[in-house]
Structure 1
Amino acid sequence: MDKEKPVPPHAAADVTEHVGYRLKRAAAALRSAMDQVLREHGLTVPQYSCLELLDEQPGISGSDLARGTFVTRQSSAVVLRGLQEAGLVARPAAAEHGRALPVHLTAAGLAKLEAARGAVYAVERRMIGAIPNRRMEALLGDLDRMAAALGES
């Protein structure tokens, strides 16, 4: 019995022309560039992401932090523990309500974030510099629609 070959999602000469491949390639390039500049600030990409999210949403729970930084709760807990040991974030010993322990940036955490933010923004400026300004809104909309089509809001 012959199996039918699956139909590709769009016309492509090979896998390197698939949208998923190109998205992964761009994400890997961004991660590599961020790793490089954050190393100079003593941070990893997950640590930086946590600091950014905590600056925007002070007091969020570890679970919400994990979701917002696209890692598992276990990975987030490891990152948070390291940030707490470095004095960059603070959590109470016990929860006031329920089980969630709210996480906050310390003054040292905010200073570290502000120092690293410029380097990360420079990476992003370099990346989006390849996109004409007139196409930026469409690109962001397309990326959001792709995520939504796969169940991410």
Structure 2
Amino acid sequence: MEQKIEKRQRISTLGQIGLQQFAPYLMNRIMGRYNASLREVLRKHGLTISQVRTLAVLSVLDGVTVNDLSVYTVIEQSTLSRTLDVLEGQGLVRREQGVTDSRVRHVFLTDEGRAEFGRAWPFMHEEFETMFNGIGDREYTALIATLQKMLTNIRRHDI
């Protein structure tokens, strides 16, 4: 118990750390800019960030449950449900009942959905390339390893 009290007394303030040295602030700025850039381009193609995130995850992990899709896409379940309604209405995804549990729904990308994501991917990749311009392979590998450790530290799901 003493160790925790001692540690608490040494906590720096945000002002002492500074915004430019506070990783959560920097991660939010980076992802905010990435999403804003994508939003501009995707809007011209009739897609939203939530829709493209959903198509992106399904392009890699087709047939996941709605609950898992919510975790992978980082979209609240109520928003994801509305997103899936739109995507299903456009013929880009389909939902199927689980084989062992009829309450569980699995989401699949249709051929049209795969093609739509194929059209969106170049824009996503271009923004990715811009973000990592001037960052070498070693730096990128180290960043990915660090981010994976961070995710393990904070995640609430096994995925």
TM-score range, shorter chain: 0.7 to 0.9
How many angstroms does 1:5 deviate by?
A: 7.9
Contact 1:61-1:102 within 8 A present in 2 as well = yes
**d(CA) in 2 for partners of 1:6, 1:44:** 44
Closer, same or farther in 2 for the Cα pair 1:83/1:51, shift >3 Å?
Answer: same
Instruction: Provide runs of 4+ in structure 1 moved above 6 Å.
Output: none
1:110-125 map, 5 Å = 110-125=114-129
How many angstroms does 1:9 deviate by?
A: 7.2
Closer, same or farther in 2 for the Cα pair 1:14/1:35, shift >3 Å?
Answer: same
**d(CA) in 1 for partners of 2:21, 2:10:** 16
User: TM-score, normalised on structure 2?
Assistant: 0.81
1:1-153 map, 5 Å = 7-8=11-12, 12=16, 14-92=18-96, 94-98=97-101, 99-151=103-155
**d(CA) in 2 for partners of 1:58, 1:150:** 25
Name the SS of the counterpart of 2:145 in structure 1: helix
Contact 1:38-1:120 within 8 A present in 2 as well = no
Q: How many residues align?
A: 149
Closer, same or farther in 2 for the Cα pair 1:11/1:44, shift >3 Å?
Answer: same
Closer, same or farther in 2 for the Cα pair 1:143/1:12, shift >3 Å?
Answer: farther
Match of 2:5 in 1: none
**d(CA) in 1 for partners of 2:128, 2:47:** 17
**d(CA) in 2 for partners of 1:126, 1:52:** 19
Give the letter for the 2:112 counterpart: A
**d(CA) in 2 for partners of 1:75, 1:50:** 11
Give the letter for the 1:111 counterpart: A
Give the letter for the 2:152 counterpart: A
Aligned residues: CA RMSD: 2.4
User: TM-score, normalised on structure 1?
Assistant: 0.84
Give structure 2 stretches of 5+ with no counterpart: 1-7
Name the SS of the counterpart of 2:38 in structure 1: helix
Contact 1:12-1:18 within 8 A present in 2 as well = no
Identity %: 24
**d(CA) in 1 for partners of 2:138, 2:16:** 27
Name the SS of the counterpart of 1:103 in structure 2: strand
Higher helix share: 2
